[in-house]
Amino acid sequence: MHNKSTNRMNREGLTRLWELGAGRGPADGEIDQDELTAELLRAKLDGALPLDGAAVDSVPVILARPCPELLCCTGRTLRDVLLDPKAGLDAIKTVKDHAKKLAGRDELEPEHAVAIAIYYAAIAGAQVFHGHKITSHSQEYLHRSYGELTEAPWMPADLGGLLTKARELCQKPPG
């Protein structure tokens, strides 16, 4: 069975992810949680969204349950959608909502961290690219959360850049 969320990850990355997940981490026997989180996030971000409407409605891909709001983004990666200034606000909201659901039910630390990163990246994208706040969190809370995420050693530079831009917007007075 082929997992679409990993089709752009190279063989070495998949092998490393498998080893970390199986508990075969660094030489001292401990799993490097930052490395595992980085690999899981990379796999999610580089996974392609479904290619057609039937797949959008029926196949659990990337965010567990794609839906019609993502039709405009089919065939693109989640990373593409999150970082594209032209991505529709409805698609961004859908990504945020699904990531929030995943974060709420996933208690394993790396998986939870990945869902949280995607959740806040979607909120940041709406702020940066559309000037919309799609959450009830305060600007102060978002500022702090974006800062914590950008400092995470597993955060990819491109997503970190988006979070940094959104963090700067949180400091500007409304108007």
pLDDT tens-digit map of 131-152 = 999 999 999 999 999 999 999 9
Amino acid 49: pLDDT: 63
d(Cα 161, Cα 42) in Å, to the nearest integer?
15
Q: Pick the more confident residue, 83 or 51.
A: 83
**Cβ atoms 36, 17 nearer than 8 A:** yes
Boundaries of domain holding 84: 4-171
pLDDT above 70 covers what percent of the chain? 65
Q: How many domains does the chain have?
A: 1
Backbone torsions φ then ψ of 9, nearest 5 degrees: -80, 140
Q: Pick the more confident residue, 33 or 132.
A: 132
Q: Does residue 7 register a pLDDT over 60?
A: no
- Give the tens place of pLDDT for each residue, 62-111: 455 445 555 455 668 899 999 999 998 988 998 899 899 888 886 778 99
d(Cα 166, Cα 55) in Å, to the nearest integer?
32
Amino acid 172: pLDDT: 79
